[in-house]
C-alpha cells in the first residue's frame, strides 16, 4: 500500500475522547508552541481535518500533537486541535497528554508524584501527576490566568428569547448560561440533541452581540457555550454541559444548530465558570469547586491567587482530573484515498465553513 501520511497516536478519554499524536509529523517551524500552532493552522490544516473528521474522527473528538518544547523550563509541548479551532488551552486535553507522556515513558514517571512543566500554545503549564504502579491516577495543573468579561449580560437569542449569560476566559472564551432559564431542559445525556440546539443558538447570539478581547491573543472570539445547572451528586458542587461546535452556526439554517457535547467536566470551562463566580463574589480563593460533567465524572478546580491581566482583574486556577488510555493506533492516508481531508455528513455534523477555522470576535461598538 502506498501512503501519503502515517501517524502514530495514543487514544485516551476522560469521558471526552482525546487523541494524542506521538509520531509521524515532521518539524513544525516556530519559536514558541503558539507560533507552531499558528503555522500548522496556516500551512498544514489537513492534519487536523484528517484526524478529527470521518472516517478517523467524529464530532466530539479532540486531538493533540506532542512537539519538542520551546520554553527552556518545559519538558514537552503540545498543540491542541478541535473541530473548529486550535485552542490556546484545554484542560481535558492537558490531562490526556500528561497521562500519555508518563504512561508510555516519553517522560520518566516518578512515584508517587511526578512534577514537570508543559508548554501549551497559551504558555507554560505546571503539572503535578499522582502516580502508582505505572498508572497516572490524578493530574493537577496550574492554568493560565482566567478572567470574567461579562456578568449577567442579557442577549437576544432566536427561538429562545432573552437569555442571561456570563462570558469568561479560562483558556478559551466561554458563554455560560444557567439551564434553569429553560425549565424543560435537563443536563442529562438523553437530552443531548436539545442541549446542543440550545447551546448552539446561545453561542451564535453571544458571538454576534458580545465582543471580547484577550490582550495576548488578538482576534479570538467566543467559541464555546456552557450550560450550567445544579447537581444532586453529593461529590459535586455544580453540573455543566459544554457544547463544542462542529461547524459555523447559521440562524437561517436549523441543521447548523448542533455540535458535540463535551463528555468530560471540561477543564477550561471549569476555569471560566470559577472566574465568573469569583467576579460575582460567589467563589473565594482556596475553596475547592467540584464540577460534574454529563457522564457524572468530576474535575476539581481551585482559585489559588488573584492577578492583573492588562488592567483587568483575573485569577489563577488549578484543575485536577484523570484520563484513561483506550488504545494505540497507526493512522494512514492511502495515496488513492478520495478524501485526503476526511469528510462530514449532515446527519451528525454541522455544515463546514472552510473560509475560517474559528469565529473572530466582533468589533466593539464605537
66 conformational bin, left if phi > 0, alpha if psi -120 to 50, beta if neither: beta
Taking each helix axis from N to C end, the angle separating 91-103 and 267-279, rounded to the nearest 10 degrees, works out to 140
Q: Is 90 a residue of the active site?
A: yes
Q: Catalytic one among 90, 148, 246, 256?
A: 90
Return d(Cα 145, Cα 281) in angstroms, integer.
Answer: 17
Return d(Cα 11, Cα 25) in angstroms, integer.
Answer: 17
The rounded Cα 283 to chain-centroid distance in angstroms is 22
Return d(Cα 84, Cα 200) in angstroms, integer.
Answer: 13
324 with 135: CB under 8 angstroms? no
Return d(Cα 267, Cα 96) in angstroms, integer.
Answer: 11
DSSP, collapsed to helix, strand or coil, labels residue 362 as coil
Return d(Cα 115, Cα 166) in angstroms, integer.
Answer: 34
Return d(Cα 263, Cα 322) in angstroms, integer.
Answer: 13
The dihedrals phi and psi of 93, each to the nearest 5 degrees, come to -65, -35
Output the CA–CA distances (angstroms, integers) from residue 244 to 28, 59, 224, in the order listed.
27, 8, 6
Cell representation of residue 100: 500519555
Query: Where in the sequence numbering do the catalytic residues fall?
Result: 90
Amino acid at each position: 500500500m502506498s501512503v501519503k501520511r502515517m501517524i502514530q497516536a495514543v487514544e485516551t478519554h476522560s469521558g471526552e475522547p482525546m487523541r494524542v499524536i506521538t509520531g509521524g509529523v515532521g518539524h513544525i517551524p516556530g519559536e514558541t508552541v503558539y507560533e507552531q500552532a499558528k503555522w500548522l493552522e496556516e500551512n498544514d490544516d489537513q492534519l487536523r481535518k484528517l484526524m478529527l473528521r470521518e472516517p478517523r474522527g467524529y464530532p466530539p473528538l479532540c486531538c493533540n500533537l506532542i512537539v519538542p518544547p520551546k520554553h527552556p523550563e518545559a519538558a514537552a509541548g503540545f498543540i491542541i486541535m478541535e473541530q473548529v479551532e486550535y485552542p490556546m488551552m484545554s484542560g481535558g486535553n492537558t490531562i490526556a497528554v500528561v497521562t500519555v507522556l508518563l504512561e508510555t515513558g516519553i517522560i520518566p514517571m516518578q512515584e508517587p508524584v511526578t512534577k514537570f512543566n508543559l508548554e501549551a500554545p497559551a504558555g507554560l503549564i505546571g503539572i503535578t501527576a499522582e502516580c502508582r504502579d505505572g498508572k497516572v491516577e490524578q493530574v493537577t495543573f496550574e492554568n493560565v490566568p482566567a478572567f470574567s468579561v461579562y456578568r449577567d449580560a442579557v442577549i437576544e437569542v432566536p427561538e429562545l428569547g432573552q437569555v442571561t449569560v456570563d462570558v469568561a476566559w479560562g483558556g478559551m472564551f466561554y458563554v455560560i448560561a444557567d439551564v434553569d432559564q429553560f425549565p424543560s431542559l435537563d443536563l442529562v445525556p438523553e437530552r443531548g440533541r436539545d442541549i446542543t440546539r440550545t447551546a448552539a443558538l446561545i453561542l451564535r447570539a453571544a458571538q454576534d452581540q458580545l465582543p471580547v478581547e484577550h490582550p495576548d491573543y488578538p482576534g479570538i472570539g467566543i467559541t464555546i457555550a456552557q450550560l450550567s445547572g445544579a447537581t444532586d451528586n453529593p461529590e459535586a458542587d455544580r453540573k455543566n454541559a459544554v457544547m463544542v461546535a462542529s461547524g459555523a452556526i447559521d440562524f437561517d439554517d436549523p441543521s447548523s444548530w448542533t455540535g458535540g457535547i463535551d463528555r468530560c467536566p471540561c477543564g477550561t470551562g471549569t476555569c471560566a465558570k470559577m472566574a465568573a463566580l469569583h467576579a460575582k463574589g460567589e467563589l473565594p480563593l482556596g475553596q475547592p469547586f467540584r464540577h460534574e460533567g454529563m457522564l457524572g465524572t468530576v474535575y476539581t478546580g481551585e482559585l489559588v491567587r488573584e492577578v492583573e491581566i492588562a488592567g483587568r482583574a483575573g485569577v489563577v486556577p488549578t484543575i485536577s482530573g484523570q484520563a484513561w488510555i483506550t488504545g494505540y493506533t497507526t493512522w494512514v492516508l492511502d495515496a488513492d484515498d478520495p478524501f485526503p481531508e476526511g469528510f462530514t455528513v449532515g446527519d451528525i455534523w454541522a455544515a463546514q465553513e472552510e473560509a475560517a477555522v474559528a469565529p473572530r470576535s466582533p468589533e466593539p461598538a464605537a
